[in-house]
Structures are given as structure tokens and as C-alpha cells.
Structure 1
Amino acid sequence: MVDLVQSKPAAATEPKRSLTSRFSHLALPVFLILLIVISGLVSPAFLSGSNISNMLLQVAPLGIVVIGQAYVIILRGLDLSVSSVMATSAVIATSFSGQNGDVLPILLVAVGIGVATGIVNGLLVTKRSVSPFLATLATMIVLQGFRFAYTQGAPSGNVPPLFRAIGSATWNGIPYNILVLIVLAVVFGLLLARSRFGREVYITGGNPTTARLLGINADRVTIIGYVISGAMAAIAGLVLSGYVGIVDNWVGRGFELDSIVAAVMGGISLSGGRGGIVGGLLGAAVLVVVFNAVLLFGLPVQLQIIIKGVVIVVAAAFYVRRSR
């Protein structure tokens, strides 16, 4: 009798738990919509076509980086070298003649550097048991050193017109770079969600020991994850170089932290094994909306930083709690 009575509350609360779990993934989209609506009420210019187009231009480079960062975080890691890969790619974009005929060589060299950086990161993490933080921090610093030595501290040259068009031009108000983001998100989102490799990523991130017992080469999967992150950072750097137009050695600064925060806000667990591309992109959109809103409102720089930090901490804390 006692067991029967005690079992009723658990059974009664089960529908509530499943209902909460079912709708919890809608919290971030609802938060993003509320943020947009409130910003539009405070400043009608926020919802103007030109400002929306500008936000889309800004979200594309960050979103591309988040795609790669998502793989690494699901694999229980993180990648601090993405900002340095972006800056190196941007410098490479101006190192040729500046004509469209150089687009393919630039793309190959930039992505090659991103892939090489990812391989080094992956080998350090898997074969040398270096923590992801230290491994990617080291490659970030090494890339910075090479970049400064190559440019003598002052990069010069022109970005090819095609990159400028992809990074900053629009078609009927729709930026070309957002189309690049959509294509990459679909390809790597399907790879993560529908392929055998994607299942191996989740299993390895959830429990590397279990992955090895199931016959999965966890080291190989982890290295590929870092390679994807490096390649995405390289492409994002080229896109960002076309957006800013002027390249320096610090293009992409801050993207390493913004991409991690966006991924965590999007429900990608820092403990590994959970999350997806769509959530990370929603997190990137939240960050861009916040950054754009505080600038549009004309708030003091100090207050802008405080507001950004508060929104990031609240959103990240909520999603870390939900993932637990």
C-alpha cells in the first residue's frame, strides 16, 4: 500500500516533466523574438530594413565560426584559436594581387591553414593529452607570431572584389554572406544530425570510454572536429575581410569567446555530447541583436559592455542549467 501511494506523485508529475522538456527548446527563439520586439519599441530604427540587413551581415561570420565551435564543444573541447585563424585568413586575402582570379588560391591557402591548425589542435588534445584550452591558446599565439612576422605588423593590399561582394553586398536586402552561412549550416548540420560520423561525435563527446568500447576511433573523431572548426574559422575570416574592407592583424578579435558563448546559449553542453547547429546559430543571433541594439541606442561605451555582459551571463546560465 505504501509503495502504491508513493508511486502516484511520480506518475502525476511525469506529464509535467515531459511537457516542460518538450517546450524548453523554444525558450531561446522566444527570448530572441522578445529581444527584437523590445528593441524595436525602444528604437523604431532598429526594425528598419537597412538595420536588419546590417545585422544579417554581422551574424554570418559569427555563425560560420559557431558551426565549427559546435563540433568541438560537443566533443568536450573548445577552440580559442578561431580568432587567430580568421585574422590570418584575412591577411592572406590581401596578400595576392587583389583580383578575382586569385580567389581560388586565397581560399585554398586560407582553408589549408585552418585545417592545419585544426590538425595540430586535435593532435595536441588527443595524442599529447593537452587540455583544449592550453592547446588552442598555444596555436592562437603561434599564429599571431607568424602573422606579425609576415606582415611586419602592418598588413597591406586589397581584398578581391568577389570577397567584398560576398562579405558586404546584398540582393534585395538579403546579404550574400548569409547565404554562405545557410549553405554551410545545412551541410554541417546534416552531417552532425544524420550521418554516422555525427553519431560518433555525440557518442565520443558523451563518453569517450564508451566510444572506444563501441569500436569508435575517438581520437580520429576529435581531430576531425578540430579540423572542421579550423576550416570554418578560415572561411569566416575571408567573409569578414570582405565585410570590413580594411584588414589588420586583429580581424576577428573576440570571436573565440563570442562563438563559445553563442554555442552555450544555444544549448550545446560544455560537458559534451549534447546540442546542435541550429541552437548555436540562434545564440549567435541573440548576441548580434544585443550588440546592435546597445550601439543603436547610443549608450555610453561602458554601459554597452555592462549590458552585453549581463545578457550573456543570464542567457548562458539559463541554458547551462537546462542542459544539466
Structure 2
Amino acid sequence: MKKRIISLIFLTSILVLTLILFSMSFVSAESNVCCEKLKTGQFCQNAPIVECDTSFETAPTSCESTNFCSVGTCIDSQEGLCEGPISKNVCNNGGGVWDPRAATEVPQCNEGCCIVGDGAFIATQTRCKKMASDYGTQTNFNPSITSEVQCSANAGGDIKGACTFEKESAKTCKLLTKTECNSMKGDSQNSNVDFFEGILCSDETLGTNCGPTEETTCVPGQDEVYFVDSCGNLANVYDFNKIKDKDYWSKIVSKEDSCNAIGNNANSLSCGNCNYPLSTCLAYKRGETSVPNVGNYICKDLGCTFNGVKYQSGESWCGLAPGTSNIT
């Protein structure tokens, strides 16, 4: 009897030990680790080890506690852009230069007011030089202005309008400020210079050689897609539904009074009234962005995807969290 009890106790102990080991194995398999890269391609994710790409590092802790997934600032020295917080590996894989400091502590990432053409926006000095070079203008960068509102107040100048003049026996036009137009009167090559405030050069009542087209363009420092007239002057915000509207090609219409002013108009085929930071003007890329009804530019969606979920630009996931990808 005593031997039977001992045997029963022994068998029970073995069974309990087996259950404990099985339970530990199950918990170990299900517990999250830090994967430097998932099999699905995302970087620095806390996930079960079976989801990790075995050619990259893993650690039995959260990614925030690892060296290979520590976050800092990613610098694109050519474009003058800084992103962060972002992991070192994500930055390096994207061709950037990683700095362990926050963007506010990195001198190259210091921002100021950049004035390019008629637009003004907050950017790094390198970014400002790049934009000015792209559009063939001089760099105008003020590091003492870091407020978007204060910076925008420095844009523009005089109200624009149609500046008509005769040159080489032809009556033509430029969209200028009144000050710029008056300065043309001192040029002996121009005659009969007149300024029409708030009027577009494509206004047929002016009798110039400038007229409507189906061409569009982006403007440095501004986010909207604009129509362009046959003389290369800017017209109003691209609105396909008004392409044949004479009034729309005659008077300057504000952004607020243009098509779908309260929407972001991302990937819209007919409206170029982009609204930053949700969307901005960009040349369309066949297969990557929508193709506008006319012209070569569209409001690009500035949102992003993270784990299959769409987020708006400016949310913490967009451009900052490891594993995100831009929406095109």
C-alpha cells in the first residue's frame, strides 16, 4: 500500500512538471520580443518571435530598450529635411544620416522663415536654398522667424494684377504687383504700360496675346495647383469644372473662394485646392498617384499607413514611427 502511494505521488509530480514546462514553452512562444525587422518588412516592432526576420536582430525586451532600435533624428542633407523620432536602422536604410539627438538639438535642423517667390514657409536653411535653386530665385532665409503665421505675413507684398504693355508691336501681359508693373515704365523697350488690379492676364477684354490653356503648375512656397495662361502667367487654382468659364479666367479668385475649400482634395482629378498638411501640389506619377483630368500636377496625399491603418500627416505615426510608409 505504501509503495502504491509513493508511485502515485511520483506520477503526479511528473505530470505537474510536464504541465509546467509545456505552459512555459507556450508562454515563451507567445511573448513579444523586439524584432529589428518583421517578415512583412516593418522595422523595430514588438511582436512574437515567429514574426521576426531571422536575418536581423531580436531582443527579449521592448524595442524602446534596445540599441538597434533606439530613436533619434534622420537628416537628409541634400533635401534639407529632418525626421524624428526615428530608429537608426530605418534612417540608414532610407539613405539618411542618423543623429541620436532630438531634431531641436541638431544645428542642421534649425528652422526659420524661407521666402521663395511669392510664398513663405518654415524650413531649414538647407531646404530653403534647395527650393530657391529649384525655382531659380535667390535665397531669402530669416532664422529669427520660426512662427508659421509670422512667416506667412512676410509673403506676397502688393496685390497682384494684370500688367499690360506693348513690346515689339505686340500687346502682351505679365501677372505682377503694382510696384513691379510701374517699374516697367522706365524700360524703353516697353510702351503703354497699364496695371489692372485683381485681373488675370487671360482676361480677353484686355486684348492681349495671353489666353486660357489646359496647363497647370506648382508654385514655390504654396500648396495649390494653379492654371497657367498661354503667356506662362499664373491664373486661378486648378478647377476642371471651370476650365471654359470666362469669368474664372478674368478675375483673381482667392483660395477660400476656390473649389472645395474645406476639403484636402488629395488625389482629386478635378480640383487643385490642396490643403497642407493634408495635401500639397506635386507632379503626378503614373502608377503612383491619380492622374488629373488635365495638366501634370495633382494634390498629393501627405498621409501615411502604419500596420495597414491610414493616418493623416501630422499625426505621431506619419513619417515618425518605424514601419510607416507614405501614401501615394
What is the TM-score normalised by the length of structure 2? 0.24
Which is richer in strand? 2
Give the TM-score normalised by the residue count of structure 1.
0.24
Higher helix share: 1
Tell me: higher relative CO, structure 1 or 2? Use CA pairs within 8 A at least 6 residues apart.
1
* Structure (1 or 2) with the larger CA radius of gyration: 2
